[in-house]
Structure 1
Amino acid sequence: METSEDPEKKPEAPQEPLDEQDVAHERLRALERNYGSTWDSPTDPEDPYNWPSLRKISIGLVFSFGHLVTLMSASMIAAALKDIERDLSIDATTAQIIFSTYFLGLALGPFPIAAWSEMGGRKQVWLFANAWFILWNALCPVGRSKGLMVAGRLMTGVGASAGITLTGPVMADMYRNEDRGKSLAIASFLPYLGPALGPILGGVVSHLVDWPWIFWIMSIINAAVTLLGLVCIRETYTPELLRRKAIATGSQLPAAEKHNSSAFIPKLRSHLARPFLLLMKRPVIQVMAFLLALDFAVYTFLLSTFAMLYMQRYGQSQFISSLHYLSISVGFTVAAQVGGRAMDAIYSRLSRGKNGRPELRIPYMVPGVLLIPAGLLWYGWSAQARVHWASVDAGAVVFTVGSLIVSQALFAYQLDEFAEHGASANAASRVFSNLLAFVFPIFAPRLYDGLGFGWGNSLLAGVWFVLVGPMPVLLWFWGERLRALGRKGGENPGAVGL
């Protein structure tokens, strides 16, 4: 029987995975193609990957400190809502709207912030957003006006979104994939103290002085952080650094990287469009957005009612009830510091001898998916039965460990896939998180009033397990195909036909 195969043709050898040196040189070639300039070598000291550890850590801690302030501001007024209701003559639902409007700002802010950061670098947009936060946060309580409170919280959230949008991408600018967990552990060292410190500080301030000082103290603290960042932060975004290098050396810049007045508006439009296009055209972003939204919405649901639980069911004072937020901080700190390193260890073990891929983050996600409903049930039924408050706090710890594990794994997966477009991908995937975080706290008191803490949390746990339980399996087996959908030419992860 005749065949059309060439008898002289040898079968292709299986493609060997690239070693670390090959990967480094391929990165330099890709940078040269995309930005018209590249680093002198894989060990170039100007490359943020090769910066001294002390510089990386100090930059990470400043961003982390700024992120802490924004997370504290989100929850700081929780313990003072009753005082705000009284002084503004509003009902509990309106007070919850004031609380959650901040999250609506967090949903809107990442789009312009991501666009600006991918046009001109991370530092300048971070400084501007912090100044915006300081101004609007200080204005919130002026005149004790309901309208100004709502508008001020919205605008403050827009400025605060710089920390959420940029902290992870800044760490990805400086750390390689195999150190992703360590970099996120540095970045989250301080922010996840925010859920505890915010309500505690808010409770102390509202107990000792008038509640408007909650806002003014946070503006003063953030002003100090901004001045520290002005001195300590260096630009980390590789495309911007290479653009500056090309200008300094007289190299020819690609048209897309030139900064001129005629190209500014089209370029701004393109960068602003990228997060929306990623959300519309990349199914992997849609899945990330869905998972992160459920995770963050349930977290804010718990956060907005935590102090109320101890005041109503355990008869504790405003200040004592705020101390229980420490349990949330404990859970986040454990997950951030221990979990981040565990994620690196799992990734390193699974990628040994082959090229790493984002799906290697998924095994780390599995414990988090299970701990969230377990913590909700533990916390809810302990509160329902009015057992000792320590049992309620323990359930909250379990829940928050699970919540951060899930978001860590998803965020690392996303950064591995989208690399230098990480800020745009983060803006796209976080928008539903903050929209649900705006809505959920509004009806949280009514849910618990109707169902109680036990059945209310059982409902949340059931919805979570049904919708999210199968996701690790789906991402593990079909994640690579999912990531390929919507890519322009199937090459650049950040390309969506812009």
Structure 2
Amino acid sequence: MASVHHNQVAPDEVVPVAAITAAPDIEMAPMHPAPAAKDSDLDPFLVAFEEPFDAANPKNWPTSRKWAMTDVLSATGFNRIMVSTIMAPALSLIATELHMNSAESVMALSIYLLATAFGPLVMGPLSEIYGRKTVLHVSNVWFLVWNIACGFATTKELLIATRFLAGFGASSIYALAGGVLGDVWRPEQRGRSLGTYLLIPLLGAAVGPIIGGFMAGRTTWRWLFWSTSIFQAVMILVSFTTFCETHAPTILQRRAEKLRRETGNQQYYTIHERFDGNKSLAQVIQRALTRPLRLLAFHPIIQVSSVISAFNYGILYIILSSFADLWTQHYHQSVEISGLHYIACALGEIAGSQLGGPLMDVLFRRLKAHAKGEHTPEFRIPLIFPGALLGPLGLFIYAWTAEYRVHWIAVDIGIFITMFGGQITSMPMQAYVIDAYPDHTSSAIAAVQFMKSLTAFLFPLFVPAMYNALGYGWGSSTLAFAGLLIGLPAPLIVWLYGAKLRAKAASSY
């Protein structure tokens, strides 16, 4: 029989006592609430993880099982992110066949990203009600259906609509990944787990145009969608057989349900069930679905994190959407060769993630030791600053080497440095959000992703006009100057005032 825990809370479990006793729309409570009160310690019906070790607690799982969860999400993320960029080199071919103007063809590419702004707002909160596993499986099937439909589109309207619906299903990975990594890995392992998870998806954003370039030149553009759908079907089979539930409140709720069923005693409960006990299912879902937007509207930590992450993400998609045109129109290279230059993008991001992950963990351990064992989410912030300098530096190099048509290797070096700096910045920012919102990581990530996806959707829309008016030199330099103005002051605010902002912030409930 599953065990019931008296006066014990798992080391990594945050018990929101303040949230139990008050439930206004935005409860004022500490970001990390205090442990349960003494009278609740003696409650024989409270179902929680056993201390010091409970095998059902995802943070106590064997390392091999944790890596299995991480790898499933990583491979799934690779395909979904690859689909966002794979059609970039084929846009002109698609536009000709479906009678699209330049704005409509760019819309067909970027509408996928618009969907990833709204999808996590739904998928993230639902994963905190029904568990990560259910949401992953449903979104996998949804994405597969609509990605196949993209390949059969015969009109521009149908292609744009199916791309949006495919992107909506694909977007769950953005909310689920941060949630699952927060579920199974401890703060000391955050850098390594993030670096390993990102290794394959980061390839997707850059490998997509490479594959798309060769496929567009050798077969119909429709195989861009059909081939990725075959891969998605394989990943559905893998996730069904490998992925386990990682959401601790869901695991405990199922344990409590089993106890109630086996004993016939309906008094067994979990902390989260007590909090939602007087609410109908509709009220629980309504509150969950509004949580990401409430966090974005009322939490300065989420607002600052969103600005930093959104700008960097927008720059990434400006480059990804315009890079092929630079080589085909400015350097007069073939579509296939233009796709190969995306290797520089991939290498920069991979190098950033694989170096940034270990550096993040090393810095975290040193700051924790300096603080005599205490740690705060702000320990993630110092690593952002070198990335905030490297990213704009790379953009300056890219800007003027491209403007004067310097040898292609110089342009690719500039892009490598830009991507490297961007990744060094984004990883600590994501780890910071995970650490700051342990109770509702997926909702917090969804709030940040909303802004990121909006910039990824909107920024590429003005790129053709910007480069036509300013050229590659001043166009990209303008972005670099903006990166310096945003990338340095914003994390400095978090480093200096993050703890105070978190203390004053409303509860994530």
In the superposition, the TM-score normalised over structure 1's length comes to 0.90
**Residue of structure 2 aligned with 1:210, choices 220, 225, 228:** 220
Aligned length: 469
2:290 aligned with 1:273, yes or no? yes
Distance 1:88 1:261, change over 3 A: farther
Alignment of 1:95-114 (within 5 A): 95-114=105-124
Alignment of 1:69-468 (within 5 A): 69-250=79-260, 252-254=268-270, 256-257=272-273, 263-352=280-369, 353-468=372-487
Distance 1:170 1:255, change over 3 A: closer
Counterpart residue number, 2:55: 45
Counterpart residue number, 2:264: none
Shift of 1:28: 5.5
CA distance in 2, matches of 1:101, 1:299: 16
Shift of 1:43: 2.1
**Residue of structure 2 aligned with 1:30, choices 15, 33, 42:** 15
Task: Indicate the SS of the match to 2:251.
Answer: helix
CA distance in 2, matches of 1:166, 1:46: 20
Counterpart residue number, 1:474: 493
CA distance in 2, matches of 1:470, 1:143: 46
CA distance in 1, matches of 2:439, 2:245: 14
Distance 1:41 1:260, change over 3 A: closer
Shift of 1:293: 1.0
CA distance in 1, matches of 2:271, 2:373: 36
Amino acid at match of 1:407: S
CA distance in 1, matches of 2:187, 2:176: 17
CA contact (8 A) 1:76 1:199 kept: yes
Counterpart residue number, 1:4: none
CA distance in 2, matches of 1:197, 1:26: 40
The one-character-per-residue Cα deviations of 1:367-406 (angstroms, maximum 9, x if unpaired) are 1110110011111111111111111111111111111111
Amino acid at match of 2:239: G
CA contact (8 A) 1:29 1:38 kept: no
Task: Indicate the SS of the match to 2:194.
Answer: helix
The one-character-per-residue Cα deviations of 1:397-418 (angstroms, maximum 9, x if unpaired) are 1111111111111111111110
Shift of 1:471: 2.0
Shift of 1:172: 1.2
CA contact (8 A) 2:324 2:338 kept: yes
Shift of 1:274: 0.9
CA distance in 2, matches of 1:260, 1:366: 45
The one-character-per-residue Cα deviations of 1:51-85 (angstroms, maximum 9, x if unpaired) are 11111111111100000011100000001001011
The one-character-per-residue Cα deviations of 1:233-258 (angstroms, maximum 9, x if unpaired) are 01101110111112223361258538
Shift of 1:261: 13
CA distance in 2, matches of 1:166, 1:151: 24
Counterpart residue number, 1:18: none
Shift of 1:42: 2.5
Task: Indicate the SS of the match to 2:440.
Answer: helix
Task: Indicate the SS of the match to 1:211.
Answer: coil
Shift of 1:29: 7.9
Amino acid at match of 2:334: S
CA distance in 2, matches of 1:29, 1:400: 36
Amino acid at match of 2:209: P
CA contact (8 A) 1:104 1:438 kept: yes
CA distance in 1, matches of 2:303, 2:293: 11
Instruction: Structure 1 unaligned segments of length 5 or more: list them.
Output: 1-22, 489-493
CA distance in 2, matches of 1:173, 1:402: 28
In the superposition, the TM-score normalised over structure 2's length comes to 0.88
Task: Indicate the SS of the match to 1:110.
Answer: helix
Shift of 1:30: 3.0
Instruction: Structure 2 unaligned segments of length 5 or more: list them.
Output: 1-7, 17-34, 261-266
The one-character-per-residue Cα deviations of 1:346-366 (angstroms, maximum 9, x if unpaired) are 011011123110111111111
Counterpart residue number, 1:16: none
Shift of 1:472: 2.6
CA contact (8 A) 2:385 2:491 kept: yes
Amino acid at match of 1:378: I
CA contact (8 A) 2:174 2:449 kept: no
Shift of 1:468: 2.5
Distance 1:158 1:474, change over 3 A: same
CA distance in 2, matches of 1:207, 1:481: 55
CA distance in 2, matches of 1:420, 1:127: 22
